[in-house]
Structure 1
Amino acid sequence: MKIVVCIKQVIDVTFPFALDQEKIEPLEADIFYTVNPADLCAMEAALSLRESNGGEVIVIGCGPERVEKALKTCLAMGADQAMRIDAARLKPHSQAKALLLARAAAGLSPDLILCGSRSLDEGTGETPAAMAEYLGLPQITSVMALALSPDGQTVRAEKKLERGRRETIECPLPALLSLEAGVLKPRYAPLTGLLNAHAAQIDRHDVNSLEINNTEKMAVDSLRRQIRQSLPRPRPKKSFSLESGMTAEERMEMMMSGGMKKSNGDLLEGLPGDLGKKLSGILQEKVFK
């Protein structure tokens, strides 16, 4: 079985960074990158399927040269091959990336394509659906768990619905599945894997090598254009009003505390047995009365 995993390199938000107020983008000198968490879950699912069913795992990433570090992370985890697609000649939106990823995956003739449901930065969730449309494959989104049939002809997935509900879906292979973040714990890369990944060769492709002509390029570039970008509105501060009957001391105390009222509490002291009796009495008097 041949499994293709599509990954994205995103900003590691565990490290603080400054924001360019004009471009509304993080300053490149301040940021670190990591593999998108949902894509790591897809990678773990692919490696688990390979262990139980055999085959190979090929990981594909789209972006500049720095994306190769994310690809080598996946190679260290256990992927067999890695491929990077340079998307410099297309507009940086999800449909364009989906076209590149779909064209690269089609050349590999995979039995199963796994993606993360959405990225940590943009979070649109459009790329997996657009890839499935370009490839003409059945897709299952928001996957929480998956398993192959004994004959390897179908895949059964548990899909996440609203309010905690689940739906079990079965579809024939080849298919494309997008996994939710956190459904699996990605494995740690062993030392031998890190050393092998450091020396591994990564296949490189671009618009020309994937045979995307000018008509296709113009069509995908015209699908959308960004009108503007803005920062989220600041969270409103809690407001409070001073009552007319309050004393000057009470007014000052409320202003200093930001409108928070003092909570009255009793401190219980004594031996454990006595404390238990006091607590039981308080519960019976104020809670279970």
Structure 2
Amino acid sequence: MTKFPFPGLNLAVTTPFDASGRVDLNQLDAHLDRYIAAGVDGIVLSSGTGMHVYLSREESDALVARGARVISGRVRLIVQTSALLVEDVLARTRHAADCGADGVMVLPPFFEGPTDDEGILAFYTAVAGGGLPVIGYNVPQAVGVGISPGLLRELCAIPNFCTVKDSSGDLAQQADLIRTGLPVMNGADPLMPYALLAGAAGVIWGGANFAPRTCVELVQAARDHRWDEARAIWRLLEPAMNLIWQGDYVASVYAAADITGYGSGVPRRPLRALDAGKLDLLRAALGDLVAREREAVPA
């Protein structure tokens, strides 16, 4: 692909749930509007942070259809279409295309899937037949499959495969991917400014749910090579971004977003809301971000 289609901050948005744990599509409109007003460049629906693996196919499809109507081209739309069966990935991808998505994010085969390069290449070649730009997903600690620089080169030769989101959390490994000269997206919250300095082409950021305006400012400062300013902004974000990465990630993002004014309910089962002790640690880590973001949240 001649031009990288997903620069800037793409928010892996939380999925709203009501008090009974049902997907709350009525809350989705205002939820997405707040983030678009905050200045994000793109939104990822049915993301990991949005509890993709705990949504039924019907729930995910409904979420994507409604979200696409709300977004209506104001920012780019990426949809996670990961599934165990290739046929399901393709069906989800075609649904996303029909809704007007700009691209899809797809995990490599997981749960006893192929781990050799040939098997992964065959999988993504099939997925690319869905008709949308494909973002591969490198999260070896979760799926047991890693993307090496050599494999990335082969993947990017597949028509429609355009980048990999690296959520390994290993900056040295991500830098190896970036040095291929191919576009790489960072998905590890604690590495954001360092990955941008290393040359990441864009980010998919779950933690930005609780501090979207501050995260947008960080990415923009990095885009403009205002590194002293980026470092000053990162000092505000770093304690919370490091804390959520240490465990209870999704529950922590939901809780932090509620504290800063971007709440979307609590994560559904089998996840649980944070206990009181962890919530106190989270509030302390958020520090000045709470007032900073709450002042900016539209009424």
Q: Tell me, yes or no, whether TM beats 0.5.
A: no
Structure having the higher helix fraction is 2
So what's the TM-score if we normalise by structure 1? 0.28
Structure having the higher strand fraction is 1
Larger Rg over CA atoms: 1
So what's the TM-score if we normalise by structure 2? 0.27
